[in-house]
Chain A
Amino acid sequence: MEIPRHWRLQKQRYGLVGEICPHCSAKIFPARDVCPECGGEAKEPFRFSGKGSIYSYTVMNNAPVGFERGLPYTIALVKLDEGPTVTAQLTDLGANKVEIGMPVQMVTRRIKEDGDERGMLIYGYKFRPVMG
């Protein structure tokens, strides 16, 4: 059972909440309480805008347990506008061809089911092409 771990990560996963460094203003994701830029203590929560662009990507044709239902899917390294890079699934691609530098925005989606139909549903951030 992974319930306690999911619960701790919820805020970070649902809403892309990290931290901001009070010393040098660096935006930190995921939260680690220590600033990677200046080494100072950084515990102030920061909600990222969810806007970013594709840094690199790969198409997954085999998936870890719990992720099979969405195959095939694209995993990308997304460079957030505020600085940090996150790894996430892309969604709602439709006819869009994924390209390096493509602007994307965060959405909260179903990531996987924990176990069978009786298990918990895990929600979290994915990215999709910017609308409009």
Chain B
Amino acid sequence: MAEKEKGSLLLKTIRPVGIVGYGAYIPQYRLPAAEIARVWGQSEKAVPIKEKAVPGLDEDTITIGIEAARNALARADIDPELIRAVWTGSESHPYAVKPSSTIIAEAIGTSPHIQAADLEFACKAGTEAMVMAIGLVGSGMGDFALALGVDTAQGKPGDALEYTAAAGGAAFVIGPAEIALVEIISTYSYVTDTPDFWRRAYQRYPEHGQRFTGEPAYFKHMHTAAQTMMDESGTSAQDYTYAVFHQPNSKFPRSAAKKLGFTDEQIKTGLLSPVIGNTYAGASPVGLTAILDEAQPGDRILMVSYGSGAGSDALDLRVTDRIAERRHAAPTTAEYIARRIEIDYATYTRYRGILQTR
């Protein structure tokens, strides 16, 4: 990574850094969108995805984070005591007050001598954690940092978001570029105050401002982040083997990709929302893990997240020679997706605690 050019909007580190280990986790239960449509008397043809991943009774953001982190550590092949920070991005932390990150850190066996905090920025909290970890390692403050994007998203029963609000997560060990599976070329972020989606304190389900979803929210921020990243890097869509975008449904990322000049071929590997739903802070991070499961050395990847409220993080990545020797150290994302148990809406209400029993 070159020193930061004067005037560039790109974030570049002083010390070259990369992803030295990556891991995903997706719960095994699937709720078909057609089943949700059946319950609410809506058209099965108009549903936004095929099905979504639902956590089991004993799963939450912390347990999903722990398994993703263990997979990332297995691929990184480092002593967990070398990790200097654990940052977990999510909007479904099990506790309102008490960090998920300390529980995850203790479960994977880091030392207590670390930075730890939970991050919140709707669906981009995971990539924000990645950029923070890149900064910590890139400045030389520490050699390794763990960044997670995980959610067990809840949609209000009967609301449009109920079709897609899903569970899953990914973890990345960020470390020195010399031993990385993926080199981080640069990052760029774009944020504005946009009222498209929110949840007030003590409220169980989020609200969304209908007029603000879509064009002024998702598309504006995604497009600006991706286009600025490419303009500042002197690249265009053809320079990337893969691209992965935030995926709240099947349609939005396809439209965003097309407008930016990316083909279906470039985005199909990382586009998982049709079969697992929108995993919120986990969405583009889990998509990236699916790409890394098959990418070849030299492949360049553009990753762009989107979080309501609103903002996008873009990451410019290049796969290194080390990928082939490390990727088999943990289950692939496709293996987690294949581990599928279909449930009906009644079982879903029980698993998600929607049923009132007292």
Q: A residues within 8 Å of B by Cβ?
A: 10-11, 14-15, 17, 47, 69-70, 89, 91-92, 94-95, 107-111, 121, 123, 126, 131-132
Using A14-B103, A47-B109, A70-B57 as known contacts, say yes or no to A107 and B331 having CB atoms under 8 A apart: no
| Complex: A8 Cα to B28 Cα, angstroms | 32
A69 and B57 within 8 A (CB): yes
When the two chains form the complex, which single residue of A10, A11, A95, A107 contacts B67, counting CB atoms closer than 8 Å? A107
Please name the residue on chain A nearest to B107 by beta carbon. A14
In the complex, what distance in Å separates the CA atom of A21 from the CA atom of B9?
56
Smallest CB-CB separation from A126: which chain B residue? B58
**Hey, which chain B residues are within 8 Å of A70, CB to CB?**
57-58
Chain A hits for B109, CB < 8 A: 15, 17, 47
Residue numbers in B under 8 Å from A15 (CB-CB): 106-109
A94 and B28 contacting across the interface, CB-CB below 8 Å? yes
Q: Given A92-B28, A108-B63, A123-B107, list of 9 further CB < 8 A pairs?
A: A94-B339, A95-B341, A107-B63, A107-B67, A109-B63, A110-B63, A121-B60, A121-B62, A121-B94
17 contacts between A and B (CB under 8 A): A14-B66, A14-B106, A15-B106, A17-B109, A70-B57, A92-B28, A92-B56, A109-B63, A110-B57, A110-B59, A110-B63, A111-B58, A121-B94, A121-B95, A123-B103, A126-B58, A131-B335
- Verify B107–A108 contact, CB threshold 8 A: yes
How many residues of chain B get a CB closer than 8 Å to chain A's CBs?
Answer: 21
Residues of B near A14 (CB, < 8 A) are 66, 103, 106-107
Interface residues of B in 1-30 (CB under 8 A from A): 28
Q: Are A11 and B63 in contact (CB under 8 A)?
A: no
Cross-interface CB contact of B106 among A10, A121, A132, cutoff 8 Å: A10
Give the distance in Å from the alpha carbon of A109 to the alpha carbon of B67 in the complex: 10
Task: List residues of B (72-98) whose CB comes within 8 Å of A's CBs.
Answer: 94-95
Tell me if A108 and B67 are in contact (CB < 8 A).
yes
Q: How far is it, in angstroms, between the C-alpha of A110 and the C-alpha of B106 when the chains are bound? A: 15
Q: Is the CB of A91 within 8 A of B341?
A: no
